[in-house]
Homo-oligomer: A and B are copies of this chain.
Amino acid sequence: MSKPAPKKVVLAYSGGLDTSIILKWLQEEYGAEVVTFTADLGQGEELAPAKEKALKLGIKPENIFIDDLREEFVRDFVFPMFRANTVYEGQYLLGTSIARPLISKRQIEIARMVGADAVCHGATGKGNDQVRFELGYYALEPDIRVIAPWREWDFKSREALLDFAEKHQIPISKDKRGEAPFSVDANLLHSSSEGKVLEDPAVEAPEFVHQRTISPEAAPDTPTVITIAFEKGDPVAIDGEALSPAALLTKLNQLGHDNGVGRLDLVENRFIGMKSRGVYETPGGTILLAAHRGMESITLDRGAMHLKDELMPKYASLIYNGFWFSPEREMLQAAIDLSQQKVSGTVRVKLYKGNVTVIGRESANSLYDQDLVTFEEGVQAYDHKDAEGFIKLNALRLRVLAKRDGQKG
C-alpha cells in the first residue's frame, strides 16, 4: 500500500531536538507543508523559543500555533477523571494518559482550520502514547492521515539522527550529544521519568530523576494544613481562595512539591503488551485524590460509591489505553458525573513529609450529620431489633446451603 504523500501536516511540536528533526524530515520525506502546534499544558517550559525555532526552520508564521491549554486541560480532562478517583493498576494517576486526548483534539481542530490532510506526533513505536494520540485523531477525524515518524523512518541509530539534524542546521545542545539518562514527560498534572537509569526495577530510582517534588526527607519538619473546597466533585478553592482549575492545580502542585508529596515508583503494564518502569510525580493530584475521597466519604451514598469503585478500573484502563473519545468512556462519565451532584463542601488535609492525611470534612450535604441520622423518636427511630431481621434474611440462603452441604471443614 503506497499512499500518496501528505500535502500539509500538523505536527505536535515541542521545540525540542526530536520534533525539530521530525519537522525537517516531514519536509524532506514528503515535501509537505508543515504546520506546528505547540501547547502549554503546564509542562513548565517557555513557548516562545518553540515559535522562534519553528520560524528558523522555515515554518510560515501563519502555520505556527501556540496555545495555552492549561485551563481546558484541568477543567475538561483532569477534573472529570478525578471525579472517578481514577488510578491505573491501583496506583498510577494517569498524568500522561489524560493529556493526550486534548493534544489530539486541538491538533485535529487546527488541521481543519488550515486544511491539513495529515497530523504527526513524536511518540515512539514501543509506547502507549502513539496509541493514545492516534486513537484520538481517528475518533475525531476518521480519514485523517497519521504520520508516526518513529515507526516510519530509516534512521538506524541516535548518531544517524544527529547527523541528519546537523545536516539541516538544527541546533543540538551539548547535553543532547550523549543520550539522556532517562526521558521525561511533563504537564500540569505530573511529570514522568523512564528509561535508562530506571530500567532495572530492582534498583532504586536515583534522587536526580525527580523534578516536581523534593524528597520527604528534605521536606519541612512541620506539617502544612490546608482546606480544599469542592463543588459537584471538583475542587474550587484552597483555604477560602477561589481559584480557576489550572490555578488551583498549580497551587496544589506547589504545596505537594514543598512537602515531598506525590512520588510513585511503578512497574506498569503497557497497552501494547510489555511491562515498563516509571517514576511519576503527581504532587497536586495526589493531594486531590485524597481530598476528593474525603469529600465523597460524607456526601456520597454507599450505593453510588460502591458502583463507582467497581467501574473505576475499567474507566482507568480506557483512559490509559487511549479511549477517551469512546462511547463507553462517555457512558461511564455520565454515570460518574451524575453521582457528583452533591459532592460539595470542604476537606481539611494535612501534608507532612510525603504524607497526605484527611483530618476533617464538612458539608451542607453531609449524609453523616448526626441530626439527619437520628430519626425522630416514636416515628422511625433506628430500632436495634431491625438488625435481627436484616441478618436473618441475609443469612437465609447461607443456611439453606449449609443444610444441604453439611459441615464444612
Contact = CB atoms under 8 A, between A and B. Distances in A.
Given A274-B396, A306-B317, A332-B335, 7 more contacts: A89-B305, A126-B382, A142-B398, A150-B384, A216-B353, A217-B223, A273-B394
A307 B313 CA distance: 9
The complex is assembled from copies of this chain, and their number is 4
A380 interface: yes
Contacts of A395: 134-135, 138-139, 273
A101 to B, nearest CB: 11
Interface in A216-247: 216-217, 221, 223
Contacts of A334: 334-335, 337-338
* Among A269, A302, A328, A368, residue most surrounded by chain B Cβ atoms (within 10 Å): A302
Interface string A4-33: 100000000000000000000000000000
Contacts of A55: none
B335 A339 contact: no
A175 interface: no
A361 interface: yes
A402 interface: yes
A378 B342 contact: no
Interface of A: 1, 3-4, 85, 89-91, 105, 124-126, 130-131, 134-135, 138-143, 145, 148, 150-151, 199, 201-205, 216-217, 221, 223, 263, 265-269, 272-275, 277, 293-294, 297-298, 301-310, 313-314, 317, 322-323, 325-328, 330-332, 334-339, 342, 348, 350, 352-355, 357-362, 365-368, 370, 372-373, 375-376, 378-405, 407-409
Contact of A359 (B204, B301, B307): B204
B265 A359 contact: yes
B397 A303 contact: yes
28 contacts: A1-B383, A1-B385, A89-B309, A131-B390, A138-B398, A139-B395, A139-B398, A142-B399, A142-B403, A143-B379, A202-B362, A265-B357, A265-B358, A266-B297, A267-B297, A269-B301, A269-B302, A272-B390, A273-B397, A274-B382, A303-B327, A303-B397, A307-B314, A331-B336, A353-B355, A372-B403, A375-B399, A382-B396
A125 B402 contact: no
Closest 5 CB pairs of A and B: A389-B389, A273-B396, A125-B384, A142-B399, A386-B389
Nearest to A395: B138
Contacts of A131: 387, 390-391, 394
Nearest to A327: B304
B385 A125 contact: yes
B310 A405 contact: no
Nearest to A151: B384
Contacts of A390: 131, 272, 389-390, 392-394
B372 A404 contact: yes
Contacts of A389: 383, 385-390, 392-393
A244 to B, nearest CB: 21
Nearest to A365: B404
A368 B138 CA distance: 18
Contacts of A370: 199
Contacts of A305: 89, 269
A400 B269 CA distance: 12
B90 A342 contact: no
Contacts of A134: 391, 395
A45 to B, nearest CB: 27
Contacts of A365: 404
